[in-house]
Structure 1
Amino acid sequence: MKKAWVIFTTLLAVIIIAASCQNEQQIEYTRYYTGGKLLYQQSCQNCHGSKGEGLSALIPPLTDTAYISKNRTKLACIMQNGMSGFISVHGKMYDNKMPPSGLSPIEIAKVATYLGNSFGNKTGLISVEQVEKDLKECK
C-alpha cells in the first residue's frame, strides 16, 4: 500500500509540474499581458474605464472586438500619436481628442497585448517588433 501511495504521489507531482510548464511564447504573452494591464491602469483606465466601457458619449469603449481586431496594426499609432476626428465604435460616433500616450514601443506593445486580449478581445501577443513595424507605417 505504501509503495502504491509513493508511486501515485510521484506521478501526480510529475503531472502537475508538466501542466504548469509554459513554452517561451506563453511566458512572453503572460509578461506582456501582465505589464500591459498595469500600464493600462496607470495611463488609460481614467478615460476608457476599468472594464473598457469608455465614458458615455465622450470616450469610446474598448469592448468592440470587431474594431480592435480590424485595427490591430493601428493600435500602436493611436497610442503613440493620439487620435482626433470622428470614430465609430459599436455603431456610435465619437469625436473627442485622445492625447498621445507618451509610452515607449515596449510599453505600447504591452498595452496593445492587454487591450487585444481583454474586454472580450482575443488578438494574441502583439510584440515590440510588431509595434515598431506598425509605428513606421503611421500616417
Structure 2
Amino acid sequence: MKLIYTVLFFGMMIIGFSQLSSCHNNNLNIQTAQYAVNGQKLYRTHCQNCHGAKGEGLGKLYPPLTDQKYLSENRDKLACIIKNGLSGEIVINGETYNQAMPALSKLSDMDIAYILTYVTTHFGDSDSTFTQDEVIKGLKDCKLFF
C-alpha cells in the first residue's frame, strides 16, 4: 500500500512539474518547484479571475502581475497585500490602477508562500522560494507599509 502512495505522489509531482513547463524560469530547485505547483492551484482559485491565467490583469480594472521590477522592489509587502487587500492607486508597468483588491484573510501563511512563489517565479524572474518565514515577517511588518 505504501508503494502505491509513493507512486501516486511522484506521478502527481511529474504532472505538476509538467504544468509549470510553460514557466519561463526553468532553473527552479525542487522545493521552489513544489511550492510553485501548489501555488498555481491556489492562484487559479483565488487570483486568476482578476489577474488572468497568465498574470496579464484585466484591462484597466486589475493590474497584471508581470511587472518584475514591482515584484522585486515590493517583495517584503506582497504577503501583506494578499492577506489584507489593497486600496488606492498603484502603478504597475507604468499604468495606474485604482481598483480595490479584496483581502484574502482566510489564506494560511503557507498558502500565501505558495502563491507568491508561483507568481514571482512564473510571472516574475525569481528562481527562489518565497518562504513561510518570509510571509510571517511580511505580515508582522504590515502596519509599517499601510
Q: What TM-score, normalized to structure 2?
A: 0.75
CA contact (8 A) 2:89 2:98 kept: yes
CA distance in 2, matches of 1:93, 1:60: 8
Within the candidate set 97, 100, 105, 1:97 is matched to: 100
CA distance in 1, matches of 2:48, 2:41: 10
Task: Show the 5 A alignment for 1:17-96.
Answer: 26-96=29-99
Structure 2: gaps of 5 or more residues: 1-27
Distance in 1 between residues matched to 2:116 and 2:76, nearest whole Å: 10
Tell me if the contact between 2:71 and 2:124 (Cα under 8 Å) persists in the aligned partners.
no
Q: How many Å separate the matches in 2 of 1:110 and 1:119?
A: 14
- List 4+ stretches of structure 1 deviating above 4 A: none
Once residues 74 and 128 of structure 2 are traced to their aligned partners in structure 1, the CA distance between those partners, rounded to angstroms, is: 14
1:122: which partner in 2?
A: 126
Paired position in structure 2 for 1:134: 138
Partners of 1:125 and 1:110 in 2: CA distance: 8
Percent sequence identity over aligned pairs: 47
What is the distance in 2 between the residues matched to 1:68 and 1:87?
A: 13
User: Aligned pair count?
Assistant: 115
How far apart, in 2, do the equivalents of 1:92 and 1:27 lie?
35
Structure number with the bigger relative contact order (C-alpha 8 A, sep ≥ 6) is 2
The structural deviation recorded for 1:26 is 2.6
- Alignment root-mean-square deviation, CA: 1.3
The gaps in structure 1 that reach 5 residues or longer are 1-24
Normalised by the length of structure 1, the TM-score is 0.79
Superposed displacement of residue 62, structure 1: 0.4
